[in-house]
Amino acid sequence: MNLNKVMIIGNLTRDPEVRSTPAGASVTSFSVATNLVWTDANGQKQERVEYHNVVAWRRLADIIGQYLRKGSKVYIEGRLQTRDWVGQDGVKRYRTEIIAENMIMLDRPGNQPNQPTSPAPSADIPVIEQEAAPKKEAETESDEIKLEDIPF
């Protein structure tokens, strides 16, 4: 049995670059920075930043290109893939990338980096709260969950 699974949470270091293949499939590439913070033997706080190259295809590529910007906090799940090519100088080069299979935007709506904030939701961004509002009006006293009813 083999396993090739990657899960990272970090921030985009640049705006996603969206392209299309000759066959018409969307492909988006971007980079995500993650950091590791620890205290060394002398009690000093240390930090190390890692930069991850990420590639997304088809519908996920379109979504990422539309909603994410430099600085966006994101969860990416996928697999590692290394590709190789020969450069113009004749040297063989390698690049290891995360091929994204799932993405979750972790920024709150309206707090997107590099986007103006407005009190009214944008027409092209789905707002979950609007769908949940009618249900709240229909709730009765018996539908309410009380803290003391939770078993843990």
Q: In the chain, what are the domain boundaries? A: 6-110
pLDDT for position 2: 95
pLDDT for position 124: 41
pLDDT for position 137: 41
List the pLDDT tens digit at each of the 152 positions of the chain: 999 999 999 999 999 999 999 999 999 999 999 999 999 999 999 999 999 999 999 999 999 999 999 999 999 999 999 999 999 999 999 999 999 999 999 987 665 555 443 333 333 433 333 333 333 344 444 445 555 555 54
pLDDT for position 109: 67
pLDDT for position 58: 95
pLDDT for position 117: 38
3-state secondary structure the chain: CCCCCEEEEEEECCCCEEEECCCCCEEEEEEEEEEEEEECCCCCEEEEEEEEEEEEEHHHHHHHHHHCCCCCEEEEEEEEEEEEEECCCCCEEEEEEEEEEEEEECCCCCCCCCCCCCCCCCCCCCCHHHHHHHHHHHCCHHHCCCHHHCCC
pTM summary value: 0.68
Q: Domain 6-110: which topology?
A: OB fold (Dihydrolipoamide Acetyltransferase, E2P) (2.40.50)
Cα angle at 70 between 67 and 72, to 5 degrees?
A: 60
Q: How far apart are CA 59 and CA 67, in angstroms?
A: 12
